[in-house]
């Protein structure tokens, strides 16, 4: 049996990468909005293991982050959680992930990569960004009415330099953040309705983010 024999093959799907520390409704609403807007077969949630841009902060063990993501997405048949990055050794680079996904799903697969507006400002510093922009379509999620002159300049620079259009989509619940949730837990404040109950119960069960 080959390495990818048990993996479902998709030809039009999105990748939602992140530490998901913890996953919350902002992630889920964004993924569903992109899936519906671009008529995708599936959204693959990709918990990262050692992201280069988060090396300054100690993340929760990938085992917990993976299981929380599974709990959060289990009721949506269009969502799937991948272990591809958390099982890879070394630093997690998005370009390596997209390469492997192309190997699995075929060179003809249409791959969309979902990211936030803040990440777009740093995208030209990403590892092998020229190859990455060739291999997938980027979708930048923003809050309704969001306008950032720096981001607009960056989008124009990407279009000019790489002849690549970055898709934009407005998501109402993007004000929710994992950082805020972690801080709320540390300060014994409520996190109800910011994330699925199953994830909240998991956090309480394993005493995550207490310190």
Domains of the chain: 12-205 (3.40.50.620)
Residue range 68-81: average pLDDT?
A: 98
Q: Each residue of 90-107: pLDDT tens digit? A: 888 999 999 999 999 999
Q: What is the spatial distance between Cα 107 and Cα 113, in angstroms, rounded to a whole number? A: 16
Share of the chain above pLDDT 70, in %: 92
Cα 25 → chain centroid? 13
CA-based end-to-end distance of the chain = 44
User: The dihedral of CA 123, 127, 129, 132: what is its sign?
Assistant: negative
User: The dihedral of CA 53, 80, 99, 25: what is its sign?
Assistant: negative
Q: Each residue of 111-143: pLDDT tens digit? A: 999 998 878 888 889 999 999 999 999 999 987
Q: Each residue of 3-45: pLDDT tens digit? A: 555 678 999 999 999 999 999 999 999 999 999 999 999 999 9
User: Does the pLDDT value for residue 55 go beyond 90?
Assistant: no
User: Does the pLDDT value for residue 174 go beyond 80?
Assistant: no
Q: Output the pTM of the full model.
A: 0.92
Tokens of 36: 């519906």
User: So what's the pLDDT on residue 149?
Assistant: 81
**Residue 39: CA count within 13 A, CB half-sphere:** 0
Place of tokens 């000019």: 160
User: The dihedral of CA 182, 183, 187, 188: what is its sign?
Assistant: negative
Strands (E), the chain: 12-18, 42-47, 79-81, 110-116, 137-142, 167-170
């Amino acid at each position: 049996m080959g390495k990818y024999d048990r993996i479902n093959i998709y030809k039009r799907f999105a990748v939602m990468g992140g530490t998901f520390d913890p996953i919350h409704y902002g992630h889920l609403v964004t993924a569903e909005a992109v899936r519906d807007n671009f008529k995708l077969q599936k959204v693959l949630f990709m918990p990262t293991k050692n992201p280069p841009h988060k090396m300054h902060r100690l993340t929760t063990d990938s085992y917990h982050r993976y299981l929380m993501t599974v709990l959060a997405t289990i009721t949506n048949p269009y969502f799937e959680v991948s272990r591809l990055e958390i099982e890879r050794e070394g630093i997690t680079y998005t370009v390596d992930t997209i390469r492997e996904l192309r190997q699995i799903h075929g060179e003809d697969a249409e791959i969309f990569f979902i990211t936030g507006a803040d990440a777009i400002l740093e995208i030209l510093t990403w590892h092998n960004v020229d190859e990455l922009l060739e291999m997938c379509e980027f979708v930048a999620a923003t809050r309704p009415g969001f306008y950032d002159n720096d981001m607009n300049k960056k989008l124009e620079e990407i279009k000019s330099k790489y002849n690549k259009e970055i898709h934009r989509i407005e998501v109402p619940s993007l004000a929710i953040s994992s950082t805020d949730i972690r801080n709320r837990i540390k300060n014994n404040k409520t996190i109800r309705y910011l994330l699925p109950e199953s994830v909240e119960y998991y956090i309480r069960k394993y005493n995550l983010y207490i310190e």
